[in-house]
A = this chain, B = another copy of it.
Amino acid sequence: MASKLLHGLYPFIRKLESVSRLSDEERRAIESLPVRVRTLSARQDIEREGDLATQCCVILEGWAYRYKFLSEGRRQIFSFHIAGDIPDLQSLHIPLMDHNLGTMTRATVAFIPHGSMHNLTNRFPGIAATLWRDTLIDAAIFREWLVAMGRRPAFEHLAHLLCELYLKQEAVGLAGDHRCPLPITQTDLADATGMTPVHINRVLRDMRGRGLITLHRHTLVVKAWDELIRASEFDATYLHLRKRAAG
């Protein structure tokens, strides 16, 4: 365990193991990938819409997010990413970026050339399948966000998102006890849910008032998990986690 923890790509392996099983050989192959590790400050773009990507990145520490701009400053956020995620894995087969990827917080990121990734997936079909599966889970989360956007009222929508962000972190050991980091602003939550920051603020006040959560200093505390789950009709199936998080 200690040796794993020491290796730079440990968060990545931990993430893949939350998605699928890895053999020792596969794990070693991943650990020996050539990576270039960099630390980026908060709110920096990693890839931009229109770029031709030549590498993938693994978040080792901190948060990243994917988003797109429309006219008049409208912004839509697609996803939040935590340690272990490869937010631009899709660029491996679609190099032309159709959205932006940036850091949300100060973050440590490992870059892996597409060539090395292709080499890895050719030698290990099992890893290819796991990575493919990961992109499919990504898509499943998009679908769930679509449901939330299209058919859930604001309260339910935001509650659903908070459940998801907590469980994603819990699944890789970054959260527990119904408490987790949430280093994003209310404006970010607004652009992720299709609302305005003002309305996010009001819904959060409502949740606080009902004793469901507190959200302060970038820490989310879920004080009534069962009720939050019920209020948002949350069903974790779409996250396709290998071990389902405790209720």
Contacts and interface: CB of A to CB of B under 8 A. Distances in A.
Given A93-B133, A125-B122, A132-B132, A145 B147 contact: no
A238 B96 CA distance: 9
A240 B70 contact: no
Contact of A145 (B133, B137, B146): B146
Contacts of A143: 66, 68, 78, 98-99, 142
A226 to B, nearest CB: 17
Give the residue among A136, A194, A237 with the most B Cβ atoms within 10 A: A136
Interface in A144-183: 145-147, 149-152
Give the residue among A74, A138, A139, A152 with the most B Cβ atoms within 10 A: A139
A238 B240 CA distance: 26
Nearest to A118: B129
A136 B70 contact: no
A71 interface: yes
Contacts of A68: 143, 147
A238 B76 CA distance: 15
A140 interface: yes
Interface string A70-83: 11001110100000
A206 interface: no
Nearest to A50: B237
A156 to B, nearest CB: 9
Nearest to A134: B93
7 contacts: A68-B143, A71-B233, A76-B151, A96-B240, A98-B140, A138-B139, A149-B150
A246 to B, nearest CB: 20
A76 B135 contact: no
